[in-house]
Amino acid sequence: MKLSTIALTAALLASGGAYADDITTNVNLAGDSPPHLTGAFGITHYEGGEFTDRITFSPTYGEWFVDSSLITIGFNPATNINFSYAEINGHAMSLSPTGVYEYAYMVQEPIWGPLVLTVHGTVDTGDWSASASYAGTINIAPVPEPATYGMLMGGLGILAWLARRHKQS
């Protein structure tokens, strides 16, 4: 009984598909005019197969409007990445069709931080010496608090009242 269990386990492990290296990294966001922050990153895979990468962005506390993009360009079939999905905190990015040139993007999505980008795909490296890579950017801006909108409406109301009072006199 033990021998058959060991043989079955070995067969299952041997029949598994190839998996690329999964990468987890952190990107510090910076900017000239805080609280608007930006960051850029690049990831290179040296092994073929499926991968799941996780990129954590910091500092991110609170709710943010997020713009993000990914791009990959394979110059030949031996250095190609095909994106299966990309998401930030469960918010899916729009993907282009698979091919030599692929991209993913997200525009003005309100997301609560901390922000974690998860990218899943397949690396097609037909040549053992080839590598495949992709790069991306992220831009964030704070979502205004509800009190900000209340103050804006109150200010517009006062201006309308003053204009009406000025017109009556």
Structure-derived torsion over alpha carbons of residues 43, 49, 52, 58, reported in degrees to the nearest 10? -10
Integer Cα distance of 85 and 94 in angstroms: 9
| pLDDT one-digit tens code per residue, 79-109 | 788 999 999 999 999 999 888 889 999 999 9
Place 11 in a pLDDT band, splitting at 50, 70 and 90: very low
- Which of 48-62, 84-98, 103-117 shows the lowest mean pLDDT across its residues? 48-62
Please report, rounded to a whole number, the percentage of residues in the chain having pLDDT higher than 90.
36
SS3 21: coil
SS (H, E, C) 111-161: EECCEEEEEEEEEECCCCCCCEEEEEEEEEEECCCHHHHHHHHHHHHHHHH
Q: How confident is the model at residue 78 (pLDDT cuts 50, 70, 90)?
A: low
Share of the chain above pLDDT 70, in %: 75
Average pLDDT over residues 31-38: 79
Whether residue 128 has pLDDT greater than 70: no
What average pLDDT does the structure give for the chain?
80
- State yes or no: pLDDT of 28 exceeds 60: yes
Give me the pLDDT at residue 67, please.
Answer: 94
Q: Which residue has the higher pLDDT, 135 or 73?
A: 135
Closest CA to 140 of 114, 103, 158, 161: 114
Hey, where are the domains in the chain?
A: 15-168
